[in-house]
Amino acid sequence: MKPASAVTALAVGICLAAMAVACQGEDEEGTPSASATGTTVATGTAVVTSTAVATSSPAPATGAPGITDTQIVLGADAPLSGVYGAVYSMIPKATQAYFKYVNETQGGVCGRQIVYKVEDNSFDPAKALEAVRKLVEQDKVFAIVGSLGDLPHLGVWDYLNENGVPDILVSGGAHRYGADPEGHPLTFQMLPSYKIEATLGARFISENMPGKKVGFLGEMDGHDDALEGLQDGLDPSKNELVAAESYEPTALDVRSQVINLHNAGAEVVILATSPGFLAQAIKEADRLDWHPQFLAGYVNSDDIIFQFASPKLLEGMITSQAYKLAAWRDDPDVAEHYELMQKYGGPAPTNFSIYAQSLGELAVEILGRTCDNLTREGLLEAVKSIKEWRSDLMVEGISITFSEKDHTALQAGRNLRATIVDGKGKFEFFGPLNIFRDEDLQ
């Protein structure tokens, strides 16, 4: 693996996306309601800053599925409805907006418009497979790009690899999606794995909080990788892991797990959870009058988390990001993102939409490298040719590299701390860039 990419220090915690995670819970404050329904189909095309440019004389269609003289048809499955859709449906919508921008301003990629078809996976493996089979067998997509969700992707990655369909830029953090190039050579992961970010978070704890007792709470849908990463990165001569608690994604609450962590005397707690369960855990800790240092996964690094729990309860929590924050409206690149989302039908900008645009940018860069060989084999070779690529929306020092043996894009990030400014919750970067190294794994 290489030290280049996005979101990670579990001092930072664990997804974007994959971001994959739910807003479930008891009395969560201001929990958003679902806004996306059904299947979304968008036509668009994306181009970014490098070799991905429209050609005036497109090469003739190769006969590959999803490739015509005028179009490149891509697909994805994502939670568009329900509690998961309430948070994460904005991601494919933002990617669609970027593709539309590229179609209208760059003429597409390889002289073709990108058509991006997105089906609702309802955050369920069986429904994900149904959605992906439709995309592959009926819609004849060229590739699956940006499928979202750890749990649902379990239901489709075998099918895609067995049927020769590229499965790239997966928005899921389970370590397996980037760590099995031999068994799943067609799958490439966009997000940092939970194992990688937990390893970085553990390293941060041992370097900055020696002597503190550590507790862990994780969701068993891929986030369980985080516990392995924690054990890899924690220096046992400096910190003791006193308790490790878990819960299923279908759990109603995590009260008993929080009580166990409290009783074990944990002074630092890593929350490898989704936003809803994170809010539950922090509220239960407050009810117990227990206030350890919380480190949360990157899926909790968007300002939307302040709708799940009050800024007062979240103040001091540490997470991480690889991207510039949506709150930085004075930054020219972020300001351009706002304009693009508004003009081309994207969602209200958030950290998630910034991530989604960068995913679209990378997809366009990859497609641009296939213009002379618009086949699935050509696409996979283009993915593996990505070396130290970066978006202007990324934090300085972060880039993405793929290789034959390394299928995970983002492997670095900076820590964020939740603060209160003028009574409102806000994240602020601190400390140096956290970069994953092979030697971090035991």
Range of lowest pLDDT (19-23, 353-357, 392-396):
19-23
Q: What share of the chain is helix, strand, coil (3-state, %, to 5)?
A: 35, 20, 45
Task: Label residue 312 by pLDDT band (50, 70, 90).
Answer: very high
Task: Label residue 2 by pLDDT band (50, 70, 90).
Answer: very low
Distance CA 190, CA 3 (A): 14
Could you give the angle at which helices 90-106 and 332-343 cross, rounded to 10 degrees? 90
Is pTM beyond 0.95? Reply is: no
CA distances from 242 to 36, 138, 239, 259 (A): 41, 52, 9, 13
pLDDT tens, residue by residue, 193-214 = 899 989 999 999 999 999 999 9
**CATH no. for 194-321+413-440:** 3.40.50.2300
- Residue ranges of domains in the chain: 40-191+329-409, 194-321+413-440
Judged against a pLDDT cut of 90, whether residue 23 lies above it is answered with: no
- Name the CATH superfamily housing domain 40-191+329-409: Response regulator (3.40.50.2300)
Mean pLDDT within 423-435? 93
Say yes or no: do domains 40-191+329-409 and 194-321+413-440 share a fold.
yes
Helices (H), 53-193: 82-88, 90-106, 125-133, 150-154, 157-162
Question: For residue 235, what is the DSSP state?
Answer: -
Residue pair 47/98 in contact by the 8 Å Cβ criterion: no
pLDDT tens, residue by residue, 30-85 = 333 333 333 333 333 333 333 444 444 567 666 899 999 999 999 999 999 998 89
Distance CA 185, CA 85 (A): 29
Distance CA 42, CA 60 (A): 24
- Sheet containing 113-120, strands listed edge to edge, beginning at the edge strand earlier in sequence: 40-43, 113-120, 71-78, 143-145, 167-170, 187-189
Range of lowest pLDDT (48-57, 63-72, 349-358, 389-398):
48-57
pLDDT tens, residue by residue, 256-306 = 999 999 999 999 999 999 889 999 999 999 999 999 999 998 889 988 899
Residue pair 313/436 in contact by the 8 Å Cβ criterion: no
Distance CA 153, CA 352 (A): 19
